[in-house]
């Protein structure tokens, strides 16, 4: 018996130091100034590898944090706030496990000094107290991924895949891209949001109502890939595994609204607590939550060299899912007893998706099961008015190959040289006269006919395949002592 797998033993060290000072400049202005510094060693797996695969020193991850609050009217009721900061992610084990000793059968290239991946954030807002119990607030937020660390794939002259561990759009990644005459795409994700909210502070009842307008734009959804249905392979997702990824089939950057973008979101939650005898012994509480959210963008993808996340024409070409709505409800009753009411028993009921809604969350967005490669060809068939391509000579995505490189390289050059392959992909998928030449049953040899093949668009393309979870009811008892 032969067994295959990945084994290894590893550990890593991460040390951080955070310093912050709150400085009251005057009676109306307060500044919060801080900085975080840290170092990190990314481990390797297995005895054949070095003990530390990548090391970030104390000077590599310096995170400034700046915040402030200003009493705009001088009466303590109106506050202007602002914050700015850098944030670094701690390396997950998925990348080093596969590249540094765990999987010994891969051939990779490494940028020996990859820039640390980080994002920055800034916010500013205004809060106003309305009476004693209400607060009206508005806030603007901007988040931006400035650098990411990913594995970036290239094809060598022999047609084999090789990977670079580095920063998409920077350093060694771009050096290799330029050698192959490919554009060098940068990981890009920008989030902008404007939020308005009204809060009622807790007395016997409370509530929060808020509205958010937002825009999530780019080509990189983060450590979990929404382009791959939420695949969780941090730093080794499929974002940049081939030169055409990050681009449409015609070589245009595929930056657009990402798969979790929801332009409009309304949320409201609140609760009411009733003390039956005003002594805290018998108390019933009811709380509820409801939301209305814009649908998420839907994008047509196709398979290119077994990568089923390649974008055909552009993000959002299929529109959006329907609006998402949900209401949740919770009820509990608590009774206290014993000396000084030190004991209590509580019964509760929690209902998620109270109205048992089944909103569509996703659709089949892969247009076809065809895996496009250099040898993919549109062939002629029996001519007919409904099949305009019939009878034409075979038309291949790559004609004849070349003496110095594999078909993959020619396909990539076709994508980026202004020609593009989107029309070829659509023609191939929609060409319905491709079939096999056979001898019909009972006919003499040589009585050949062409058997048509239906178009290659998946029957489920554009059809819903993911739905909101149904109603969920949970009830029980708790005893406190």
- Nearest Cα to Cα of residue 8 among 33, 36, 45: 45
440: number of Cβ within 10 Å? 10
Q: Quick check: 457 and 365 in contact, CB under 8 A?
A: no
Q: Which two tokens stand for residue 266?
A: 């309304």
Q: Which two tokens stand for residue 367?
A: 């247009």
Q: Say how far apart CA 79 and CA 116 lie, in whole Å.
A: 35
Cα 66 from chain centre: 28
Backbone angles phi, psi at 272, to 5 degrees: -135, 135
Q: Quick check: 68 and 81 in contact, CB under 8 A?
A: yes
Q: Say how far apart CA 470 and CA 163 lie, in whole Å.
A: 42
Q: Say how far apart CA 240 and CA 220 lie, in whole Å.
A: 9
**Cβ neighbours of residue 147 closer than 8 Å, sequence gap 6 or more:** 115, 116, 117, 118, 167, 170, 187
Q: Where are the domains of the chain?
A: 13-261, 367-450
Give Dmax (Cα) for the chain. Answer: 102
The pLDDT of residue 391 is 44
Residues facing residue 373 across a β-bridge: none
Q: Which two tokens stand for residue 213?
A: 């307008």
> How many residues are recorded in the chain?
481
DSSP letter string, 143-178? EEEEE--EEEEEE-TTS-EEEEEE-TTSHHHHHHHH
Q: Say how far apart CA 442 and CA 478 lie, in whole Å.
A: 78
Q: What angle do CA 285, 288, 292 make, to 5 degrees?
A: 170
Q: Quick check: 326 and 358 in contact, CB under 8 A?
A: no
| CB-based contacts of 447-451 (< 8 A; 24+ apart in sequence) | 449/382, 450/381, 450/382
The pLDDT of residue 214 is 98
Query: 164-197 burial, b for 16+ CB within 10 Å, e for fewer?
Result: bbbbbbbbbbbebbeebebbbbbbbbebebebeb
The pLDDT of residue 379 is 58
Q: Say how far apart CA 233 and CA 224 lie, in whole Å.
A: 6
Q: Which two tokens stand for residue 211?
A: 């509205």
- Nearest Cα to Cα of residue 242 among 151, 333, 126, 330: 151
Cα 3 from chain centre: 34
* Alpha carbon separation from 470 to 112, 222, 262, 354 (Å, rounded): 50, 29, 21, 9
Range list of H helices, 307-450? 407-416, 422-430
The pLDDT of residue 234 is 86
The pLDDT of residue 378 is 66
Q: Say how far apart CA 466 and CA 358 lie, in whole Å.
A: 9
DSSP letter string, 398-417? SSS--SSS-HHHHHHHHHHT
- Nearest Cα to Cα of residue 64 among 31, 41, 42, 27: 31
- 3-state SS class at 339: helix
DSSP letter string, 292-312? EEPPPB---EEEETTEEEEES
- Nearest Cα to Cα of residue 215 among 109, 127, 140, 290: 140
Q: Say how far apart CA 103 and CA 202 lie, in whole Å.
A: 55
Helix or strand run (H / E) with residue 97: helix 94-99
Q: Say how far apart CA 194 and CA 214 lie, in whole Å.
A: 6
Q: Say how far apart CA 479 and CA 460 lie, in whole Å.
A: 51
Per-residue pLDDT of the chain (481 residues), as tens digits, is: 454 555 556 677 788 999 999 999 999 999 999 999 998 887 777 655 456 777 888 888 899 999 999 999 989 899 999 999 999 888 887 777 777 765 554 445 555 455 567 789 999 999 999 988 999 999 999 999 988 988 888 766 565 667 888 889 888 888 888 877 788 889 999 999 999 999 998 888 999 999 999 999 999 998 888 888 778 888 888 888 888 899 999 999 999 999 999 999 999 999 999 998 888 789 999 999 999 999 999 999 999 988 888 999 999 999 999 999 999 999 999 999 988 888 999 999 999 999 999 999 999 999 998 888 877 776 544 444 444 444 444 566 764 444 455 567 778 878 888 788 898 888 888 875 444 444 555 556 555 554 555 568 888 999 999 999 999 999 999 999 8
């Amino acid at each position: 018996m032969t067994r295959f797998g990945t084994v290894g033993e590893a550990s890593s060290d991460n040390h951080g130091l955070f310093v912050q000072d709150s400085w009251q400049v005057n009676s109306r202005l307060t500044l919060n100034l801080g900085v975080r510094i840290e170092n990190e060693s990314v481990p390797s797996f297995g005895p054949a590898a070095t003990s530390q695969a990548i090391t970030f020193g104390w000077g590599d991850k310096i995170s400034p944090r700046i915040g402030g609050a200003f009493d705009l009217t001088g009466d303590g009721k109106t506050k202007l706030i602002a914050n700015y900061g850098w944030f670094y992610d701690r390396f997950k084990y998925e990348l080093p496990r596969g590249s540094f000793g765990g999987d010994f059968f891969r051939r990779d290239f490494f940028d020996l000094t990859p820039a640390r991946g980080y994002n920055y954030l800034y916010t500013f807002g205004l809060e106003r107290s309305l009476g004693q119990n209400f607060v009206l607030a508005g806030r603007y937020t901007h988040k931006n991924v400035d650098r990411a660390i990913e594995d970036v794939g290239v094809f060598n002259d022999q047609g084999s895949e090789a990977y670079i561990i580095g920063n998409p759009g920077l350093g060694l990644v771009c050096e290799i891209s330029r050698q192959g005459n490919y554009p060098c795409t940068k990981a890009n994700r920008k989030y902008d949001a404007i939020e308005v909210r009204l809060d009622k502070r807790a007395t016997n009842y409370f509530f929060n109502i808020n509205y958010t307008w937002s825009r999530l734009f780019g080509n990189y959804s983060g450590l979990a890939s929404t382009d791959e249905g939420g695949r969780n392979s941090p730093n080794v997702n499929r974002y940049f595994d081939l030169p055409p990824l990050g681009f449409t089939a015609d070589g245009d950057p595929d930056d657009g609204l990402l798969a979790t973008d929801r332009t409009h979101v309304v949320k409201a939650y609140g609760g009411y607590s009733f003390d039956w005898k005003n002594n805290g012994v018998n108390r019933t509480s009811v709380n509820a939550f409801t939301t209305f959210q814009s649908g998420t963008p839907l994008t047509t993808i196709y398979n290119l060299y077994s990568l089923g996340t390649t974008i055909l024409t552009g993000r959002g070409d299929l529109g959006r899912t329907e609006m998402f709505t949900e209401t949740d409800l919770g009820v509990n009753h608590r009774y206290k007893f014993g000396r000084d009411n030190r004991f209590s028993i509580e019964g509760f009921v929690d209902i998620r998706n109270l109205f048992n809604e089944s909103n569509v969350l996703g659709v089949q967005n892969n247009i076809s099961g065809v895996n496009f490669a250099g040898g993919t060809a549109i062939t002629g068939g029996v001519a007919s008015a409904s099949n305009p391509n019939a009878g034409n000579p075979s038309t291949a995505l790559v004609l004849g190959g070349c003496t110095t490189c594999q078909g993959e390289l020619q396909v990539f050059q076709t994508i980026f040289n202004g020609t593009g392959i989107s029309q070829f992909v659509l023609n191939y998928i929609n060409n319905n006269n491709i079939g096999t030449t056979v001898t019909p049953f009972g006919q003499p040899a040589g009585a050949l006919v062409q058997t048509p093949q239906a178009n290659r668009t998946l029957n489920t393309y554009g059809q819903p395949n993911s739905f909101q979870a149904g109603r969920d009811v949970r009830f029980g008892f708790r005893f406190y002592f």
